[in-house]
Amino acid sequence: AQKITQTQPGMFVQEKEAVTLDCTYDTSDPSYGLFWYKQPSSGEMIFLIYQGSYDQQNATEGRYSLNFQKARKSANLVISASQLGDSAMYFCAMRGHYGQNFVFGPGTRLSVLP
């Protein structure tokens, strides 16, 4: 069975500072994909970044980067230069090699302070 753990229910960060949102996972699949999604108060899920389990390099997308440590089974999201619009819920998710659906973590609520 797959499981995602996000141990930070809430995080605060000062505007323009960097912040790391933690995510650890558990799976027995030989290959898998890790995702981060942002959910603002309006409810839509916005795809941020993807990391494949066999990718050699950490994924980056603009201000988002994924700190992937396979041996530790962690996939932390790093947001650089935080903006007020980054305030939202952030979900880490995983899709196994043999499945198409996601398993989501409980989420972290990020609040960016002016």
Partner 1 sequence: GAVVSQHPSRVICKSGTSVKIECRSLDFQATTMFWYRQFPKQSLMLMATSNEGSKATYEQGVEKDKFLINHASLTLSTLTVTSAHPEDSSFYICSARDPSEGYGYTFGSGTRLTVV
Per CB under 8 A, does 90 bind partner 1? no
Name which position in 30, 106, 111, 113 contacts partner 1 (CB under 8 A): 106
- Supply the minimum distance, in Å, between the C-beta of residue 8 and partner 1: 14
Grouping H, G, I as helix, E, B as strand and the rest as coil, residue 89 is: strand
Q: What residue type is 100 in one-letter code?
A: Q
Q: DSSP 3-state assignment of 109?
A: strand
Residues in binding contact with partner 1, number by CB under 8 A: 20
Residue 100 interacting with partner 1 (CB under 8 A): yes
Report the site for partner 1 in 10-69 (rule: CB under 8 A). 33, 35, 37, 42-47, 50, 52
Choice between 103 and 112, CB closer to partner 1: 103
Please give the structure tokens belonging to residue 76: 């932390």
- Counting Cβ atoms within 10 Å, is residue 54 exposed (0-12), middle (13-18) or buried (19+)? exposed
Q: How many CB atoms lie within 10 A of CB 37?
A: 21
Sites of contact with partner 1 (CB under 8 A) = 33, 35, 37, 42-47, 50, 52, 91, 100-107
